[in-house]
Amino acid sequence: MIYLIVKALLSGLIIAAVSEVARRSAGAGALIASLPLVSILGMIWLWRDTGDPVRLAAHAEATFWFVLPSLPMFLVVPALIRRGLHFWPALAIGCALTMGLYLAMTIIGPRLGLKL
């Protein structure tokens, strides 16, 4: 149970750090947010929990393919906000787009030989 709490606290600290740094510098906050810290922590936790190199390799590769459909959101949300849409609707549209692209990736990816 303590292990789960440590994982949650460490992950939460990263999110809090990003938001605090971004209040002072949007670019610095974006840089920290763009680092694959969550993915790295996920791999560390998975390795610690399983020690399975095959599972870890599959996880890391699938993570790469799932990052791609998330990227357009980071262009769509600011574009919508700059066009006058409020934050929450812009975020909702960005999230809906990302979910649609994730769905497309889960359907198309395996047909292209990707192991997701």
In tens, the pLDDT along 2-23 reads 988 988 898 889 889 999 999 9
* Whether the predicted pLDDT of 115 surpasses 90: no
This prediction has a pTM of 0.77
**Domain residue extents for the chain:** 53-116
Task: Give the Cα separation of 85 and 87 in Å (integer).
Answer: 7
In degrees and rounded to multiples of 5, residue 41 shows phi and psi of -60, -40
28 Cβ partners below 8 Å, 6+ apart?
21, 22
In tens, the pLDDT along 15-56 reads 899 999 999 999 888 888 888 888 998 899 999 999 999 999
pLDDT at 37: 85
Q: How confident is the model at residue 1 (pLDDT cuts 50, 70, 90)?
A: confident
